[in-house]
Structure 1
Amino acid sequence: MAMTFEQVVETVKQFSPKQREILSDLMGKWEIKAVRHEIARDAQESLTMFSQGKLKPQSAQNAIKELPENERHAYERYRDNLHYEASMFESSYTAAVMEGRKEGLLEGKLEGIKEGEKKKAMQIARNLLKTGGLNVQSIAAMTDLSIEDIRIMQTELGNS
């Protein structure tokens, strides 16, 4: 069953901000796909006409030149707007990709730092276990490792 425009608006009003953001992203992607589809369809149609000899290379340009001045200006504005929209889509897409890469790099660096800190803590715990001067609870408190992790290391090192 198809919804009226008003029903769609009311439904969207009930969405959470996150749902609206997701919907907005999807709408942008659908619009880009629709524009690409329209361009591809127009290009295919022109290629077909050209290959069948129905469209000469200059005939489209000549047809535009033969339009009344107000229609020619309207067409030129339309064409310029299409170029501008395509440029804006490309710019926003590129900006989003770059932002995603930045976030990914930052997450990767943070993950690497956490992993390095844990390895260092484990090395310190091993060294403390080898010296045998501290109990498991003290080593866990000093290294922020779990008591279970310390006990596993202790077993691996053979220090019960």
Structure 2
Amino acid sequence: MPGGQGGRAAFARQSLPQCSRPDAGEDAGPRSGAGHLRSLPQRVFNLPSPSAPASPICAATGYSNGGLTRLAKEAAFRPEALAGVRLVVAYAVMEVTAAIRLSAAVLYLPLIAMEAVNTAIEEIIDHISPEMSDTGKHAKDLGSLAVFCLISANSILLHYALSLHLTV
């Protein structure tokens, strides 16, 4: 082991929770011998299997990172992300109250979430119905309306903060 780091690295790998999905085939087949008794408390108390991720939060974080990676490829998301950075700068320059900053975060995060939902709707519609259909068009239009409403709410808050800043 070069530099004597191998032992510490191996320890670090063992002590960190693993964020991986269990293999589907690990529990396949009948259990034999006394080994099946060790898993009895897991089945009785509905405990996670030893092959499950160390933490459901760890697994959810992985799925969320995958969603954010996909969302970053969406053309509509990039201007919204840039607008978020600009809003942070604008609120810092205006020295708004903590209540307005909190309101901005409470309005901006659902905007990103709704953009993700809208992207998911568009992906599903494109997969299910690649040809043009009225139902697919309505679903996409409603998703776009939801995003537009949240953009409008963020704009209203920004205009309110600007009016407070300019009157002071």
User: What is the TM-score with the length of structure 2 in the denominator?
Assistant: 0.27
Q: Which has the higher contact order (CA 8 A, sep 6+)?
A: 2
Structure showing greater radius of gyration is 1
User: What is the TM-score with the length of structure 1 in the denominator?
Assistant: 0.28
